Amino acid sequence: MQIYAWIGCNNSAKFGHLYAAATTRLGDGVSVTSVLGGTSDNTGSSMARRLVLKTGLNIILACNIPKDSPMLEAAAERKLVEKLRSLGYIRSKTGEANASTTPLSATH
Residue 69 lies in a domain: yes
Q: What total of structural domains would you count in the chain?
A: 1
Residue 101 lies in a domain: no
Question: 3-class SS at 99?
Answer: coil
Residue 58 lies in a domain: yes
Report if pTM > 0.85.
Answer: no
Residue 102 lies in a domain: no
Question: 3-class SS at 12?
Answer: coil
- Tell me the pLDDT tens digit for each residue of 78-95: 999 999 999 988 865 554
Q: Which of these, 6, 33, 36, 7, lies nearest to 22 by C-alpha position?
A: 33
The CATH number of whichever domain residue 10 belongs to comes to 3.30.230.100
- Tell me the pLDDT tens digit for each residue of 7-26: 887 666 677 789 999 998 87
Q: How far is CA 66 from CA 4, 76, 84, 86, 104, in A?
A: 20, 12, 23, 27, 24
Does position 97 have pLDDT exceeding 60, yes or no?
A: no
- Tell me the pLDDT tens digit for each residue of 39-72: 656 778 889 999 999 888 999 999 888 778 889 8
Domain residues for the domain of 51 are 2-86
Residue 14 lies in a domain: yes
